[in-house]
Copies of this chain bind each other. A is one copy, B any other.
């Protein structure tokens, strides 16, 4: 894990730079503030958060934390994508989710991370030391409430994904993934039929409980059927209705 504090993406800094203090990105102007747990704090309170926040970034393929690591830092993602996964001793892997801007890592109050997080792209994030963040949370019930809101939302998402893993056929799983990923992107990037896929086929397979071949074949068939179109580093969705139908509503 190679975290370089105090360096951060120029583009991010630029978009968030409205203060005169030499262009340090602050929480108040953060581009993901409204998407994240930080939205629970008002302009005054957010200065407290600012005081304990460190910028950090992470190169692609690097690991932010591994399952079993002490959770000494917590994170809010401001740019990029990570994969969160459990690894079995024999190499089998389950990706429980992908984290993107606005997502919080370290929701669980347990002292160790239960899963591994590694970067799929260059990632920018805000780092908080756990004791300080916890103290701030205890001082601001609205923050605690927000954390709980986020955690229970994550729980609902996890339970929905159980249905996918337990009861959906291969084609339905891929359709479910594409649609959900597309909708998440819409939330932070605005609507667009073009869906960047920073994760590889193997990652999609490991998220859906399939093999890379099954994912590849499914996407290839949809391209032949003009449901999706192959574009660099992603796909373009030509027929969203067909994908929806596969999920049976």
Interface residues in chain A, defined as those with a beta carbon under 8 Å from any beta carbon in chain B: 86, 88-90, 92-94, 96, 107-110, 114-115, 138, 141, 144-145, 147-149, 151-156, 158-163, 165-167, 206-209, 248-249
Contacts and interface: CB of A to CB of B under 8 A. Distances in A.
A88 B249 CA distance: 9
A167 B88 contact: yes
Contact of A148 (B148, B159, B249): B148
A167 B85 CA distance: 12
Given A109-B148, A165-B165, 16 more contacts: A86-B162, A88-B167, A94-B163, A96-B159, A96-B162, A109-B145, A109-B152, A110-B153, A114-B156, A114-B159, A138-B141, A141-B144, A155-B155, A155-B158, A161-B162, A165-B209
Contact of A162 (B94, B107, B249): B94
- Identical subunits present: 2
Nearest to A149: B109
The listed residue with most B CB atoms (<10 A of its CB), out of A110, A153, A209, is A209
5 contacts: A88-B248, A94-B162, A96-B163, A108-B156, A158-B162
Contact of A151 (B86, B155, B209): B155
A72 to B, nearest CB: 17
The listed residue with most B CB atoms (<10 A of its CB), out of A114, A207, A249, is A114
Contacts of A138: 141, 145
Contacts of A167: 88, 92-94, 209
